Structure 1
Amino acid sequence: MKLKYCLLILITQIFSLYSMEKPEALSSEESIKVQPISETPITKIPKYVYENCNQATRYNWNEEFLEKLKKQVKNFSKEKVSAKYPNKNDFIRHAEGFDWVYGLNYLEENYLKPNIDFVSALSIDEVKKVNGFLSRLVSDIPGQFRKHSIIWRKRNFTNAETIFFEFIEHNTPEDLFIGNNDFNLRVDDNKNISILAIKRVLEYYKANPRCIHGLTNQALGINVDEIKTWAQESLGLHNNVKKNIKPNFINLTTWINKRIHMFPAFDVIEEQVLNALDKIKDPSMHPVRKAAFIWYEIVRIHISHEANKRSGKALASIILLQNGYLPPLIDKEDEKLYLSTLLTSLHEDNFEIFLNFVIKMIEKTQEKYKSGLLKI
């Protein structure tokens, strides 16, 4: 009995350590225990928020420099930034910094100082405007909803998977159902596809790599034996289970769901943004949940080509400040956890995982402030 009890304690401790790296889901509004640091709205964006632009671009602002920069960035253009930072990587890094300051300055002046209820004022036009302020230098169409569907790969494809996915993207689903393509490649009603047919496609592109534009190196590196692993995963036969079964097909739905996150199609973006905005206007919804939800939804819907994470975080920060909370400081040590948590939440379609992360980051940030380690 004692041994069982000790094992239970050990398993619980291991699970707790694992949960620190991959936040678990919350189940109810009562689970949000974090308290605001102010009973009234915080009417100024804390200085540290300006130091955390897009998680990868950081500066050490002092008050005087920040005030000067706030005035200067309004007059920055792509041409000016490009002339100052001709290197592409430097241009993007500094342009994101200027955009971030400009966007936060706009939000502070319009939704903190006048003490306006930002949630009630949020609209599609306002979301576009905020995104535009945060991507005006790095995007050709700042503030506009994207015009095509995009994906976020969960992990890097193998060379063979890359080629095959490119093939799928260049053929409509109808083409794959009726075999209306150069290889007579077909899927059945359950989205299963013959591994022999896939081999035919991969062997062709390996022999003719120039047929896939921009993917010559991947085509040359194809190993057609990789599809055996796909087929085993598709049937749940990995880890050498049921060795006597020889899979002869791959299930496309299973494979795609395991490997990538498909963002909503461009023609439903507006409807989904409206739904998200309507949900956070519910007065019974906890303000921390509202902030985390709009942050998550902006990223999940991926409203524009650029600045989706920045836009979501900026909108969330204003909601938190209006309710007396400090926005979460995601420093370098938490950066990878932030991105992995977002990706896990998206893949599992589970917002609560991301909410748990935001709560922990707010608690951590406010504890730093209370102990004097963080100034606002």
Structure 2
Amino acid sequence: MGEETGGKYVEPGGEFTRDQRYIATRITADGRDGYPVEPGRYRLAVSRACPWANRLIIVRRLLGLEDAISMAVAGPTHDARSWTFDLDPDGRDPVLGIERIQEAYFKRFPGYERGITVPAIVDVPTGQVVTNDYAQMSLDLSTQWTAYHREGAPQLYPEHLRAQIDEVNDVVFRDVNNGVYRCGFAGSQEAYDKAYHRLFDRLDWLTERLTDQRYLVGDTITEADVRLFTTLVRFDPVYHGHFKCNRQKLSEMPVLWAYARDLFQTPGFGDTIDFDHIKRHYYEVHRDINPTGIVPLGPDLSNWVTPHGREALGGRPFGDGTPPPPPAEPVDPAHTPLR
């Protein structure tokens, strides 16, 4: 994401403010922005460490778009210039032929001065970045790429629930997804205190909402659940300690902990998670918060696969659809508790 491009992260003396000026170009069925939906044309650049990129990995997998949109996976750490493809042979993405995602940004916008972020979608024929507008990107996978969804793909953004989903997404983004960063990158005690209370007040609100219903909106998994999950799954390994979000661990909040485990154990969610990459990214990159770069060994993550009991609330994870098949691009099993 924008603030995670190497260098300094804490806002001295004040509140962290996220730069939300993203490349607004869209890939649509009608090609209105010059980039029509076309299988095989685009490559999704991600890091498994990044919660914002993790959303796109999950949605792409749930909808079965792996064959339509290929995926470039950057390593968990980066320098001040950008994310690098250091996991690939010779440190170069085999499709785009580049060492760092910055090259795709500069190819379309020479001297691009905003954040060189993931997720980003690249036009393979030209090697140019198309968009890094992560919120719109995942919605477009649901609404613009329908011709290439797998049989049994779930409705993650159904029309009759969009207003509710948008409302929940808005408050979850402000107070939870971005809220943990407002705690972690606060530059004053006052800014931290304010962010801390705002975060946990919203987590209490979510606890109430999820006490008697299995999912955030309706009785099936939607875009809203994807967006909350990628923050919750990072809470105990990273945000509780590294970002000082420490009123409680997620595992000490029974409703949210059961909800998160329910999703984690659902095909398409936990099988995208690489806890090793997640921990290495935050603890190694944010040196003004963690100067030594030491990555903690804990917490024990095997409890993610314990029974959650949320089936008793009813709900149908995929609605009239079906679970996705096993992942075509599996996470290193040594990096997750799925052993």
Q: Give the TM bin, normalised by the shorter chain.
A: under 0.3
Report the TM-score when normalising by structure 1: 0.23
Higher helix share: 1
Report the TM-score when normalising by structure 2: 0.25
Q: Pick the structure with greater CA Rg.
A: 1
